[in-house]
A and B are shown apart, each in its own frame.
Chain A
Amino acid sequence: MDTNLALILVLTPLLGFLVNVFFGKSLGKTASGAIGTVAVAISFVVSLLLFNQITSTGKGIQVTLFDWIQISNLKINLGFLLDQLSVLWLLFVTGIGSLIHLYSISYMHDDENMHKFFAYLNLFVFFMITLVIGSNLLVLFIGWEGVGLCSYLLIGFWHKNQDYNDAAKKAFIMNRIGDLGLLIGMFIIGSMFSTLDYATLKTAITGATNLNLPLLSLAALCLFIGACGKSAQIPLYTWLPDAMAGPTPVSALIHAATMVTAGIFMVTRLNFVFDLAHDVQNVIAIIGAITSLVAATIGLVQTDIKKVLAYSTVSQLGLMFLALGFGAYEVAVFHVITHAFFKACLFLGSGSVIHGLHGEQDMRNMGGLRKAMPITFWTMLISSLAISGVPFFSGFFSKDEILLTAFHHSIPLYVVGSVASIMTAFYMFRLMFLTFFKEFRGTEEQKHHLHESGSLITIPLIILAILATFGGLISLPGNSWLNHYLAPLFTKVAGEEHHLGTTEYTLMGVAVLGGLLGILIAYIKYFKQDNFPESDENITGLSKVLYNKYYVDEVYDAVFVQPINSLSKFFRDYIETGLSALVFGLGKVTNEIAFQGKRLQSGSIGLYLFVFVLGMCAIISYIFLAQ
């Protein structure tokens, strides 16, 4: 029964993929969209069933299908683990996934390759489910690289544009740098414990008395490098903003709500490893904090609506890693979930705007859309309030938890996180004011066609906005359902919840004020004073540095990409030809020797006789002298 459920869960999206690949074109757009959506919806229903089962029994389900890879000291199964963590992830992956599929039916309806879009989305969901429910690290890795592939396919969905293809390729390659880290981490863990299976590994680690902690820390660090790639942390974050080249539903699903949280999932999954690697935890917290700040500063000045959201995502992911670094896994997971709600809503909302403006993404050419697109406006507003940490919206609770945790462990990192949060509030409301308030700044043609999107677009927005509002209820301070639910995963004693004392209320107040401050500055700057961002050439000074993303892409290009390419040309033009000449040279030497030898055989009898006599003399004298 459990095996069947698990198989239905994972194989339905795969089936959807296959149907759309082989028959999508002939089925027509609506049918192919419907098939894709239903496939994911079925997985969602199965996830609900599993969730129900887990909450009632409290026990995870382990399903083993068959032996996969055999290595002398470790045997790797193809198996699934459906426990609290994976089922929680499943719920929002398939739930939000279904909504985004629904949305895409309308959003992608004008695209000639709509069936392919749905095929790739289904394939993505298949791999994402595999990633989440794998019972060992290598099955996770199937999903891990599989979602990377789908990300590649979907970023480059409009494949006639080579810039988009570059972005897709960049995403894949940067992820692969992380993947090498993940692989090496697996190698170390595999050789230390002879298993990659989560359950066995947990027993082995918790039962071990004589652990090689430095080696285990190295493994944790390598795994974290993997997480950096997938979850877009410094130094491997630059692919995510570029990934916005993909259609907006892709940005919402893959590059905001689900795939990019895989790194957090993996670290949470292996919490018993990271708990023993304190240095690595510190690294994670610091990287997370810096990433959240750096990305937020870049987000301040971006003018492309999706780029703002992309940097916001990087920044929010940074906050989640900040929590992970302090071992506050449940806090990070909480923020993953609320973030999935409001960020998916924001991306889909921006998609609605872009759709309404026929592809316009530059906020300088927007404005005043509030009246024409009320549902989009209100849902995005709710989500912006949520991400800014305005009280009682979901983001308020989750972000507050992170900052609270940070405060208890490290004041500097708390400050960094708080500053990033204030900036978040600012740039989100900058986005809102520029997009929805004041006068419309686009063309007359666009103005004429302004309209609210259809119900397939607005319904997902409304549902997500509701979730973004009330999502915080799953983990109220002092009485957290989520912490209780996740408790079996963690080795530390449950019930370590923060008491709500004066400090906590003060911090909460500070955070709220900070958020409101950010909103206020945005209000003054972009509503009261009627500023709006300069055109590209007029951006100067610090803004220019921020606008150009600290020139990190340029630096990477100069330090890594160009040298490798030059080296490649050097090898091709000099080493290869040199080696080749060497081999021919050997041939020539042989030829030359043969030629000289040939000259000896000149046919002159006199010479032959002379040499013959000489030889005879030598032999005879040798015989006599040797006596």
Chain B
Amino acid sequence: MNVSTILIILLIGAFATYFSGDKLASKVALLFSLAALGCSIVLLNNYNAGENISVINSWITQPKISFALNADGLGLAMVLLTAALTPIIIFSSFGNEYKNAKAFYGLILFMAFAMTGTFLASDGLLYYIFWELALVPIYFIALIWGNGDAEERRKAVVKFFIYTLAGSLFMLTAFIYLYTKAGSFLIEDLYKLNLSAFEQFWIFLAFFLAYAIKIPIIPFHTWQANVYQKAPTVGTMLLSGIMLKMGLYSVLRWQLPLAPTAAKEYMYIFIALGIAGVIYGSIVALRQKDLKKLLAYSSLAHVGLIAAASYTLTLDGLRGAVLQMIAHGFVVVGLFFAAEVIFRRYETRNIAEMGGIRAQSPKFTSMFLILVLASVALPSTFNFVGEFTVLYSLSQINIWFAILGGTTIILGAYYMLRMFQHVMLGETNSKAFADVTLNEGISFAVIIAVLLFFGFYPKPITDLITPSLETILQVINKN
């Protein structure tokens, strides 16, 4: 068995879901996403046992493009993240009714397919195809099943689509240039290139534009809050939980090793940009009226820190970044789900219309609070492991980076607890709030279990990703 199996399962799943009809679609989708999860675990076992799970087939001979999928520890970690979050995301939607559900769930699986492909592709053009392919389903999900005023939504979603597409074109240009130099799109051939500092600068910048928009890094983030707000929660979860990790992952996989000299030359600028995002996102999050928008800005702050750590070009930075990507993936999905649970009962995302929920729903309150605490990186949650490693790596570059980036632990606590207070606490709300249903509880419980388990025992993940990060660092430091 090799990594293409998981792609096949997801692709077949997408079609099977579509043809299973509206009634069955959600269950079929869940089944296939669970199969993909099972498959990824088997793959992990095989990988750990030393088996070769990569694929390389020539696909187009002129230009030389290969169907090359390679899973190292880093790729597998991201695949596992996708495979674990997809069923949670699908299952979390079980309380909702969607029109044309077969298309909706089919698109979710299709998106999971494209994102998994992005994490696995080791041929530049194949990677680019998966990267762009992932944009299509989320475009439709946000546009068709989103909420709020249709015209506003169309504007926000189209902006997102064009904006990210435009960014990606720079990356495509960079790939084509690299191809002319290397005569191949294969990542190992590209890694071998010796580009001049001038070439590297432009390559680095082209990749940066694509990733900065996707991640997003300020000031390229303007699409984010509106799309997060207007997309259906499932879409928001896919975007924030997995898709933005595509950008962060790509920084590690493609941008840094392909332009190492430029990366070293300009790392301070990009670290600073990431940290500026931390502070800016945190401050903007403070005064948001819409719960989903608040979470969007919190996400902006968190990914800023991850990006900053990635650009440290140290093992700690890269490792912290990956740990934090995974931890953030889970926590952000949990938080958006909490917003959804409230929306199901109160039909609002406006924080001012909430409050006084705690008295009516002890279970939901506990789960929501644990997620809030994980989000502010309380020790004993996975997020703390990530954030500590990230901040430590920044402190090794310059102590001020750690101090400024570390303001996230103060500002994060401020906006999250403020939000929690206004959403959950206070005099009992006049509107009844039913406590979580069994299904909702299961989604929360799974996420919380993951966050707590790896909070105390992150070693399996650290051991999985460290060798491949060391390899990447070797490429970066080869000359």
Contact = CB atoms under 8 A, between A and B. Distances in A.
Interface of A: 21, 66-72, 78, 116, 138, 141-142, 144-146, 149, 152, 156, 159-160, 162, 165-166, 169, 172-173, 176-177, 179-180, 183-184, 187-188, 190-191, 564-565, 567-569, 571-572, 576, 579-580, 582-584, 587
A483 to B, nearest CB: 33
A156 B421 CA distance: 10
A592 to B, nearest CB: 16
Contacts of B391: 183, 187
B93 to A, nearest CB: 28
Contact of B392 (A144, A149, A172, A187): A187
Q: Which label, helix, strand, loop or mixed, suits the secondary structure of the B interface?
A: helix
A179 B409 contact: yes
Contact of A165 (B223, B425, B428, B466): B425
B222 A162 contact: no
A21 B459 contact: no
A188 B366 contact: no
Nearest to B323: A69
A583 B222 contact: yes
Nearest to A78: B456
Most buried by B among A68, A190, A191, A576: A576
A584 B226 CA distance: 14
Contacts of B264: none
Contacts of B356: 160
10 contacts: A70-B458, A70-B462, A160-B425, A169-B418, A172-B417, A173-B414, A184-B403, A565-B286, A579-B219, A583-B222
Contact of B283 (A72, A149, A165, A564): A564
Contacts of A116: 362
A142 B388 CA distance: 12
Contacts of A160: 356, 359, 425-428
Contacts of B380: 142, 146
B404 to A, nearest CB: 10
A138 B388 contact: yes
Given A71-B316, A159-B358, A571-B283, 11 more contacts: A68-B385, A69-B385, A71-B392, A142-B379, A144-B379, A159-B426, A165-B421, A169-B418, A169-B421, A188-B395, A579-B219
Nearest to A67: B459
A173 B416 CA distance: 11
Contact of A66 (B219, B358, B457): B457
B392 A70 contact: no
Contacts of B69: none
B84 to A, nearest CB: 22
- Which of B286, B373, B428 is most buried by chain A, counting CB atoms within 10 A of its CB? B286
Contacts of B379: 138, 141-142, 144-146
A569 B458 CA distance: 38
A184 B425 contact: no
A571 B380 CA distance: 33
B4 interface: no
B288 interface: yes
Report, nearest first, the 6 A-B pairs whose CB atoms are least far apart: A187-B395, A568-B287, A568-B286, A142-B379, A580-B222, A159-B425
B399 interface: yes
Given A159-B359, A176-B413, A576 B284 contact: yes
Contacts of A138: 379, 388
B26 interface: no
Contact of A576 (B159, B222, B395, B456): B222
Contacts of B426: 159-160, 162, 165
A564 B366 CA distance: 29
Interface string B365-398: 0100000010000111000010011011101100
Contacts of A144: 379
B83 to A, nearest CB: 24
A568 B402 contact: no
B20 interface: no
Among the interface residues A78, A152, A169, A565, which one has the most CB atoms of the partner chain B within 10 A?
A169
B428 A180 contact: no
A180 B388 CA distance: 11
B410 interface: yes
B421 A162 contact: yes
Contacts of B274: none
Contacts of B406: 180, 183-184
A456 to B, nearest CB: 26
A450 B380 CA distance: 46
A145 B428 contact: no
Given A169-B418, A191-B395, A69 B410 contact: no
Contacts of B280: 571
B287 A565 contact: yes
B407 A180 contact: yes
Contacts of B395: 184, 187-188, 191
Nearest to A577: B222
B47 interface: no
Nearest to A25: B362
A395 B431 CA distance: 54
A100 B421 CA distance: 28
B60 interface: no
A597 to B, nearest CB: 18
Nearest to B280: A571
Contact of A172 (B226, B359, B385, B413): B413
A593 to B, nearest CB: 14
Contacts of B403: 180, 184
B149 to A, nearest CB: 16
A172 B420 CA distance: 13
Interface string B329-369: 00000000000000000000000000010110010001000
B283 A187 contact: no
Interface in B280-334: 280, 283-288, 314-316, 319
A609 to B, nearest CB: 35
A587 B286 contact: no
A144 B388 CA distance: 15
Contacts of A565: 286-287
B163 interface: yes
Contacts of A179: 409
Q: Which of A564, A579, A583 has the most CB of B within 10 A?
A: A583
A582 B219 CA distance: 10
Contact of B373 (A149, A166, A173, A583): A149
Contacts of B421: 162, 165-166, 169
A563 B425 CA distance: 25
B163 A583 contact: yes
A191 B396 CA distance: 7
B249 to A, nearest CB: 20
Contact of B378 (A70, A145, A177, A191): A145
A188 B410 contact: no
B384 to A, nearest CB: 8
B162 interface: yes
Nearest to B359: A160
Nearest to B387: A183
A68 B456 contact: yes
A584 B413 contact: no
A568 B425 contact: no
Contact of A190 (B283, B315, B362, B392): B392
A173 B417 contact: yes
Contacts of A21: 366
Interface string B219-254: 101110110000000000000000000000000000
Given A160-B356, A160-B426, A162-B426, A69 B417 contact: no
A488 B348 CA distance: 61
A415 B186 CA distance: 76
Contacts of B223: 583
B378 A149 contact: yes
Contact of A568 (B225, B283, B366, B456): B283
Name the residue among B223, B392, B457, B466 with the largest chain A CB count within 10 angstroms.
Answer: B392
A246 to B, nearest CB: 14
Which one of B379, B380, B402, B410 has the greatest number of beta carbons of chain A within 10 Å? Answer: B379
Contacts of A169: 417-418, 421
